[in-house]
Structure 1
Amino acid sequence: MTPTLLSRLEQYYDAVPRAGGARAEDFGPLTLFVREGAGWPYYARPALGSTGAGTADVERVLARQRQLGIPQAFEWVAETSPWLRAPVEAAGLRVHAHPLMVLEPPAPRLPAHPEVRLLDADDELLTAAVTVPRLAFADPGTAVGATGPAELAVAMADPDAEAHRRAVAERLTSGRTALAAAVRDGVVLASGQYNPVGDVAEVAGIGTLPSARRQGLALAVTAALVEDALARGARTVFLSAGDEAVARVYARVGFRTVATALIAEPAADGEPAGA
């Protein structure tokens, strides 16, 4: 991964929460992004140009996250900020590593999938489309699971689902997000989005209803998002894969691993800190 590309991604990581209306709180070498309103919560990450942070810096951010009642989470790129892992682990967080992948031109173009389409802010399936990834991430991996349309219907009735729909609808209207979904017989089986800032776009939130896995739907959704991002002028398209197995799927659309995205969160009960 070239320094120029690393720098472009760092600029994006700093800009996208701000473009999404997040409040940025300054903690010296670290920045905490706090979402205003509904939607996926943000995280803390190295401030642009940071060259080091200590455990005390991390603990100050964690205290603020607890005060605000938001997830105690940090995200960063290992190759850009290798100094952050040690203080994060010393503060008791568990670090998870994910392949950071960038679309490598000329990317292979998959045929359009007949069940995949882009959704707009007024689409009646938008609530389902923003809910499917939540169910997918609650049952991670690529194996077929039990969660299906019945569980999706229950999850959609949660007030949080409607609040999330409104937040995504606003971003779709403003052009800060594009969303695609695989729909069969009126049921959303997979969905995902990309978020553009300038000519950089991150594909994120790709999820398949566990009962519908291993049908190529996540790949088809990703391909549709890539096509749309490129058509709208994106020069750099990237994503973070869940694990190496998922990375191999994204490689079929032309993504290659260039670095490591790290996410730190509190360890589960009985789980040791560190990777």
Structure 2
Amino acid sequence: MSVLGQLEGFYDAVPRAGARAEDHGPLTLFVRDGAGWPFYARPTLGHPGPVGAADVARVRARQRELGVPEAFEWVDETAPTLRAAAEEAGLAVHTHPLMVLDPAAAEPAPHASSVLSEGLSVRILASADPALPTALTVPHLAFADPGTHIGTAGTNSLTALVPLHADPVAVERATTRIDAGLTVFAAAVDGTTALCAGQYNPVGEVCEIVGIGTLPAARRRGLAYAVTATLVEDALAHGLRTVFLSAGDEDVARIYARLGFRRVGTALIAEPFV
């Protein structure tokens, strides 16, 4: 099976662990059961036909009916008609480099010296790790201020948002997934505060590294590199053979390239214009 074929199987399998799948012909809508990050619609695995604007419009109507985000995610190379259909249906389409770890470069480089010299701990988080609540929260701050520039949101902002993004239900869900081996979290931790965090989710021998986010005020210190390297090391140690991710932009992709990731396609996300 090709690499993109492996990724398509992964993309279809992962949401099914925490969502129900609604069949909408060439599109499948995943709807989360309970609290947590909302899911999206994506091309139906194995569907032979093209996707049209009317297909996108029908799923958008269903998403509005359910009160979930009108979001679509897919790989351009495996669903080449969907971009034009999404744009015709009135959605904004965002592009992200899709990258797979090169097996020939599968030994991650050492953690950035700046991380170690500052006394930070870069580690895989156990379910009882006191840094888990901030690790669940810091990506929300990072994604609210995307890019690699140094921002203003610091630890005070992080602490204020922990009750919103790491309430007891969210922490319990995360700890259950950790203990079940469904998700692996890593973080760069100062004391008990995660300044950068991310995770990977394994399915068979494939895993996706997702949610790598650095506290905006803590950027440009090598934290995202170190957290990603830690996740890669752990994934390889557990026998995962295909490790992939989607970079936020070309600048971020260059960071991942230093770890041995190579571009294999383009991940697309469609959502309403803001």
TM-score by length of 1: 0.93
Give the secondary-structure state (helix, strand or coil) at the position aligned to 1:222: helix
Structure 2 unpaired stretches of 5+: none
- In structure 1, which of residues 257, 261, 268 is the aligned counterpart of residue 263 of structure 2? 257
Deviations 1:124-180 (A, max 9, x none): 211100100010000000000000100001001226644332222221111110000
- Residue pair 1:127, 1:162 contacting (<8 A) in 2 also: no
Alpha-carbon distance in 2 for matches of 1:262, 1:57? 17
Q: Which residue in 2 is equivalent to 1:271?
A: none
Tell me which amino acid in the other structure corresponds to 1:109: P
- In structure 2, which of residues 113, 117, 122 is the aligned counterpart of residue 116 of structure 1? 122
Q: Which residue in 1 is equivalent to 2:58?
A: 60
The alpha-carbon deviation at position 220 of structure 1 amounts to 0.2
Q: Structure 2 matches for 1:1-275, cutoff 5 A?
A: 4-18=2-16, 20-50=17-47, 51-107=49-105, 108-112=107-111, 114=116, 115-158=121-164, 161-268=167-274
- Higher mean alpha-carbon deviation, 145-154 vs 114-123, is at 114-123
Tell me which amino acid in the other structure corresponds to 1:27: H
Tell me which amino acid in the other structure corresponds to 2:109: L
Q: RMSD over aligned Cα, in angstroms?
A: 1.3
Q: How many residues align?
A: 265
The alpha-carbon deviation at position 181 of structure 1 amounts to 0.4
Structure 1 unpaired stretches of 5+: 269-275
**In the superposition, relative to structure 1, how do residues 70 and 145 fare at CA in structure 2: closer, same or farther (>3 Å)?**
same
The alpha-carbon deviation at position 56 of structure 1 amounts to 1.4
Percent identity between the two aligned chains: 61
Alpha-carbon distance in 1 for matches of 2:166, 2:239? 33
- Residue pair 1:25, 1:32 contacting (<8 A) in 2 also: yes
Tell me which amino acid in the other structure corresponds to 1:263: I
Alpha-carbon distance in 2 for matches of 1:258, 1:153? 38
The alpha-carbon deviation at position 104 of structure 1 amounts to 0.2
- Residue pair 2:122, 2:187 contacting (<8 A) in 1 also: yes
Deviations 1:156-208 (A, max 9, x none): 12266443322222211111100000011332100000000000000000000
Give the secondary-structure state (helix, strand or coil) at the position aligned to 1:230: helix
Give the secondary-structure state (helix, strand or coil) at the position aligned to 2:227: helix
The alpha-carbon deviation at position 53 of structure 1 amounts to 1.5
Give the secondary-structure state (helix, strand or coil) at the position aligned to 1:25: strand
Alpha-carbon distance in 2 for matches of 1:184, 1:123? 13
The alpha-carbon deviation at position 39 of structure 1 amounts to 1.7
